[in-house]
Structure 1
């Protein structure tokens, strides 16, 4: 490893837009690992720019820190992750992203109508969710969670 492969915590923060305190937090959670100089200063691999960027993206997707740690653990230890390593992680998250997109599309389509919440306070609910049939599938906004009005009516 060359000295130019290492960056300070301040450089890592500047390159990722993450506060130094957040990087220390990620280190404490095992998401990134700092090397220490003789004087005790933290030094990070330049590749950690990508790891921290991944953490930010994963958090925006709604992954918990434990889930992010599990994904990062799939990266190789002892070497800088290459494009194939990152592609494996990206592919694994693709299904989650697709599910979120589908959920957002359902939300956009149904938000102005009955969402299967069981409130029965809208006049339209008598059409979309008569007798609160959505409740047969469980609690919450059933239609936004993926249930369809026709499928629920057939169950009852």
Structure 2
């Protein structure tokens, strides 16, 4: 009977890409952004510890939920690279996701429920618009529909993330 071999402690970038379903270029991008880290072999080749698979899975889920890379980096901060997260650590991280997701849901629901009057009038006045800027607090942010443009950029980044696997910052 053939004895099962124990998996190597480290994986190549190609092995991680195959196992995680993420392109090699995306793994390099995540490393450049500080989301993941690799050790270097004596030949200067990337070697990843096996915990990288869970970390990449977490990043993929967060990207699918529309989180930016900087937000994901912040969410992952309590779980250092090279550390297999415990159930408690993942639960704590998810609590942060839930509050952020809920805030997005509330903002999008408000926009959905109130935008007809704003879009219909066409004024986009930050001084008069009771929808999002009743006291013209956004005047310092620029001209035009500042919040609507921000929402459109977010929607475009989320759509792009679904197509490319990462959001351009």
Q: What TM-score does the superposition give when structure 1 sets the normalisation length?
A: 0.66
Residue ranges of structure 1 left out of the alignment (5+ in a row) = 122-130, 144-156
Query: Contact conserved, 1:116 with 1:141, CA < 8 A, in 2?
Result: no
Once the two structures are superposed, residues 110-137 of structure 1 have per-residue CA deviations (whole angstroms, 9 ceiling, x without a partner) of: 45x224786259xxxxxxxxx9452534
Give the match for residue 103 of structure 2.
99
Aligned to 2:45: 41
In the alignment, the residues of structure 1 paired with residue 75 and residue 86 of structure 2 have an alpha-carbon distance, to the nearest angstrom, of 15
> Whole-Å Cα distance in 1 between the matches of residues 27 and 104 of structure 2?
27
Do structure 1's residue 32 and structure 2's residue 30 form an aligned pair?
no
Query: C-alpha separation between the residues in 1 aligned to 2:44 and 2:146?
Result: 52
Partner SS state of residue 4, structure 1: coil
Kept in 2, the 8 Å contact 1:118–1:132? The answer is no
Deviation string 1:52-86 (CA, Å, 9 cap, x unpaired) is: 22222333444332332222221045531111111
More relative contact order in 1 or in 2 (CA 8 Å, sep 6+)? 2
Higher Rg of the two aligned structures: 1
**How far apart, in 1, do the equivalents of 2:26 and 2:32 lie?**
10
Map of 2:25 onto structure 1: 21
Tell me if 1:119 matches 2:122. Answer: yes
Do the aligned residues in 2 keep the contact of 1:117 with 1:142 (CA within 8 Å)?
A: no
C-alpha distance in structure 1 between counterparts of 2:73 and 2:99, whole Å: 18
1:98 to partner: Cα distance = 0.6
- The residue correspondences of 1:4-153 to structure 2 (distance < 5 A) are 4-76=8-80, 79-110=83-114, 113-115=116-118, 119-120=122-123, 132-134=128-130, 136-138=134-136, 140=145
Matches of 1:72 and 1:95, distance apart in 2: 15
Q: Structure 2, unaligned stretches of length 5 or more? A: 1-5, 139-144, 149-169
Cα 1:49/1:39, change in 2 over 3 Å: same
Contact 1:117 1:141 (8 Å CA) reproduced: no
